Structure 1
């Protein structure tokens, strides 16, 4: 049966959406009132759409410029835009979903698709794709599928991102470490970090410099490690794809490197909320697990010696995959579903919009647009584009479906449980057992 592209309102309960998004009611209300945003456009006698996203000033200015071109191409349609930083944006979106509906077009995180689609806050886009209001023929089918939930398309990827390590190439040369390749193993990666620690370098505040950040707090690092071994984070929307033994082994690796001084100290990992406050940003480590989109910020901060390299492998098998850096979805309460879908299509497929937006949301999912824009890239942006092409040629497994609705809570629990290990409050196995129990309760609730 075709998925309807209608303006029929199907709103989830306020408390259900806030709970799914991991946002407290009071916090969300405060964020709704105080979140920093840039507003433009206004009501007109024609159609007015609302469009919101998160991101820096460059993304904001480019997006508004592309939106103005869309308005010019669609007389009678006005788009009111707003953006904010990631944290306040997520809180505000959760409040909007619970209180009456998200904007007509909203930028979404991969982890939000199951939450908002399952809660009725997003409009199915199948009909818009079938009638080519939204075109997907120049996007990889496996990648488009990352915006599905229970077999229906609810969002389209706005950028194709991939993970890697920002690393100081000058320090790697000093330690005699070869340029990282996609087939470098986790064991070789660990040994490289030990060799860097053995150099005895000192940070600006006089402390020893570690080889890397501590990935034990990061569910993304664990997923990369797990996938390189043929595993997966989730077996289904209600079942984990890993065991207590898997997580124990991963956390024992991370815990051991930290104790050796090869990974950053616990207190420095806890303080890391931005590139500037991360161990590498503070001169306390020489590499940092990150995504390609924010990588240029590392070179801006730390200089041209910072390069982008692949995550380690298990016997040559890579755990990285091409993940949507973010997605565009249409609010289920929109009164203008056709025009909202046209805006999504324009941002993804119009070559002029592609020229304006560039790589502000990572590699454009439309291959023709990406190839066109890539010709203008320089410096670190060109490096990450070439990196993504290298990894594609090397061979990566298909991306998994969007994480289940409980993943946001599980991600928070993951960080908390490893911090217990890092501060000697639990062993890796004790924390792994508790994480498994918490995750199972979350997935089955």
Structure 2
């Protein structure tokens, strides 16, 4: 499926350009929306005329359910606005989106990730939302400027940031208690993580880390930053670190733990993935820890309200700050959309409305509006996990360096190259050192031709 995604993304620029030329030729005419209304293509508001907004997002069933409630609530106060909801899991989401973008049929409103926003922006698939900020449709006055600008690609606001997040470790405290190990705090090291994992395996037979450490490059990026280096060069045309030992040491650590049965091997992990997030080992108590974003405990609280979060392990011999505050996700509007203004109005409501956020309950991450964060904290409605998420943000800042630039064009290919090289080492087909050289060769080739 990933290879199909890459082919579609590679073809995106040409096909989308062709689609835009068709739209451009008819932009002076009236266009019919999915609801049958007519309006000029682009940014005109339809007033009280019926409008349908196609919206897509990824997530679990809990997110799907409450997002549908949000859409229904918005329609109650905006009777002319209807939604065509296209929910999805993470797997396959960007594969489908690439196909839609290439054919000019991308939904009007798209939940977008930091990994992919540059690719879609540079292929002209995403509208510039700055016009709606300038005219007051979207109020950004309560959003931190640095966080807001993470959605700006080549001076165009191609995504409105919805939440902030940072890389975390989720863990099941009951499994740790069963193994007789102390719960970690923000001072724990990689040595502590390995020791805890081995003890848990010995005492309970359960996994220490129960998800994949190389699903994408985020966890490795944390490791690279801990070594005082950057994952990518400043011009995004190559990897940014020069010493391949950084990569090989990272992979060797996981090879050793897989051999010890502390971490699932790729085949075991594939079976775990099939369970879905809310039925995963950490939630059910069949595993102990996993790499996630800091809203994980909140996301799964409806099925297990005991999960806790901690910042990832530290390098014992380094003071470099590996963490960064990441935009949790964005809402982007398709350049091909004929209801851009209506979509922008919904984004504003999603970000700044108390009634909307009383339903969202920070499930997508820490809200970007300072007013909404204050409202949530003072509302008394937050669960223990949600309160902890808000409080932990302040603690995590001590371990955060600068937020890196959005990932470069070709990021999905780089992620695949990273995973493929790592899996070759995990299966014993090549050494970690050979995997490091392979990843560098493949990643540099991808980056140099894409940026």
Shorter-chain TM-score: what band?
0.7 to 0.9
Q: Is the 8 A contact 2:5 2:95 kept in 1?
A: no
CA RMSD of aligned residues (A): 3.0
Given the alignment of the two structures, is residue 436 of structure 1 paired with residue 440 of structure 2, yes or no? Answer: yes
Task: Identify which range, 168-177 or 304-313, moves more after superposition.
Answer: 168-177
For 2:314, the equivalent position in structure 1 comes to 313
How many pairs are equivalent? Answer: 406
Aligned partner of residue 208 in structure 2, secondary structure: coil
Aligned partner of residue 86 in structure 1, secondary structure: coil
For 2:297, the equivalent position in structure 1 comes to 295
Q: CA deviation at 1:138?
A: 0.9
In the alignment, the residues of structure 1 paired with residue 370 and residue 422 of structure 2 have an alpha-carbon distance, to the nearest angstrom, of 39
Q: CA deviation at 1:132?
A: 2.6
In the alignment, the residues of structure 1 paired with residue 287 and residue 228 of structure 2 have an alpha-carbon distance, to the nearest angstrom, of 29
Given the alignment of the two structures, is residue 239 of structure 1 paired with residue 244 of structure 2, yes or no? Answer: no
After superposition, the Cα gap between the structure-2 partners of 1:304 and 1:107, relative to the gap in structure 1 and judged at 3 Å, is closer
| Structure 1 counterpart of 2:103, from 89, 96, 99 | 99
1:8-19 equivalent positions in 2, closer than 5 A: 18-19=8-9
In the alignment, the residues of structure 1 paired with residue 6 and residue 169 of structure 2 have an alpha-carbon distance, to the nearest angstrom, of 37
1:26-425 equivalent positions in 2, closer than 5 A: 42-43=35-36, 45-74=49-78, 76-173=80-177, 177-199=181-203, 201-202=204-205, 209-213=206-210, 215-218=212-215, 219-235=217-233, 236-243=235-242, 244-273=244-273, 274-275=276-277, 280=282, 285-296=287-298, 303=304, 305-314=306-315, 315=318, 317-374=320-377, 375=379, 376-392=381-397, 394-425=398-429
Q: CA deviation at 1:413?
A: 1.9
Q: Is the 8 A contact 2:5 2:94 kept in 1?
A: no
For 2:22, the equivalent position in structure 1 comes to none
In the alignment, the residues of structure 2 paired with residue 344 and residue 120 of structure 1 have an alpha-carbon distance, to the nearest angstrom, of 20
In the alignment, the residues of structure 2 paired with residue 298 and residue 443 of structure 1 have an alpha-carbon distance, to the nearest angstrom, of 36
Q: Is the 8 A contact 2:107 2:334 kept in 1?
A: yes
Structure 1: unaligned runs, 5 residues or longer: 1-13, 26-40, 203-208
In the alignment, the residues of structure 2 paired with residue 279 and residue 304 of structure 1 have an alpha-carbon distance, to the nearest angstrom, of 14
After superposition, the Cα gap between the structure-2 partners of 1:196 and 1:228, relative to the gap in structure 1 and judged at 3 Å, is same
After superposition, the Cα gap between the structure-2 partners of 1:298 and 1:59, relative to the gap in structure 1 and judged at 3 Å, is closer
Q: Is the 8 A contact 1:17 1:97 kept in 2?
A: no
After superposition, the Cα gap between the structure-2 partners of 1:65 and 1:296, relative to the gap in structure 1 and judged at 3 Å, is closer
In the alignment, the residues of structure 2 paired with residue 20 and residue 344 of structure 1 have an alpha-carbon distance, to the nearest angstrom, of 29
In the alignment, the residues of structure 2 paired with residue 411 and residue 126 of structure 1 have an alpha-carbon distance, to the nearest angstrom, of 30
Task: Identify which range, 163-172 or 210-219, moves more after superposition.
Answer: 210-219
Normalised by the length of structure 2, the TM-score is 0.80
In the alignment, the residues of structure 2 paired with residue 55 and residue 278 of structure 1 have an alpha-carbon distance, to the nearest angstrom, of 15
Q: Is the 8 A contact 1:117 1:149 kept in 2?
A: yes
After superposition, the Cα gap between the structure-2 partners of 1:80 and 1:275, relative to the gap in structure 1 and judged at 3 Å, is closer
Q: Is the 8 A contact 1:101 1:332 kept in 2?
A: no
In the alignment, the residues of structure 1 paired with residue 248 and residue 131 of structure 2 have an alpha-carbon distance, to the nearest angstrom, of 45
After superposition, the Cα gap between the structure-2 partners of 1:416 and 1:128, relative to the gap in structure 1 and judged at 3 Å, is same
Task: Identify which range, 277-286 or 130-139, moves more after superposition.
Answer: 277-286
